[in-house]
Amino acid sequence: MSAILKDMGIVDYEPRVINQMLEFTYRYVTNILEDARLYSTHAKKRAVDVDDVRLAIQMQAEKTFTSPPPRDLLMEIARQKNSTPLPLIKANAGPRLPPDRYSLTACNYRLKSAKKSALPAGASFRPPIAPTVRQHVPDRAYRS
């Protein structure tokens, strides 16, 4: 399997690809040979011959692998489909969205005003004084 991949120009693949290819090939060949044996038995032959194998391959290919329709047929179908114009879009068509206040995409925050009070000329800015924290001192009378 690695030689087949190398001949096809595939050099970078996961090691499990080989096992998957072997499994697919084994299953495919086994199904073909079982079908060929059934056709040979149905024709009352003693052994499986080349015609039975060819018939089994043809039947398997028709059952498993489908080919796309011819390009000309697809082009004709597309031409017919595209010849009818699309309907006009109505003004209120489409999904109706809830109001912004119920929408998860609505703005859920407000920015504070960036206005600063102007200081008089010559005045300096002083930050506010932080409040002092008083510590509670227990009364000495209750000490033992």
Task: Give the model confidence (pLDDT) of 17-33 as tens digits.
Answer: 999 999 999 999 999 99
Looking at domain 2-82, its CATH class is: mainly alpha
Please tell me the pTM assigned to this model.
0.45
Query: How is the chain split into domains, by residue range?
Result: 2-82
CA pair distance 48, 42, nearest whole angstrom: 11
One-letter amino acid at 13 equals: Y
Which SS3 state, helix, strand or coil, does residue 5 take?
Answer: helix
Cα torsion for 119, 125, 128, 129, to the nearest 10°?
A: -140
- Model pLDDT, residue 131: 59
Q: Taking 70 as the threshold, does the pLDDT of residue 136 lie above it?
A: no
Q: Taking 70 as the threshold, does the pLDDT of residue 141 lie above it?
A: no
For the record, the structure tokens of 103 come out as 């929408």
- Model pLDDT, residue 116: 66
One-letter amino acid at 107 equals: C
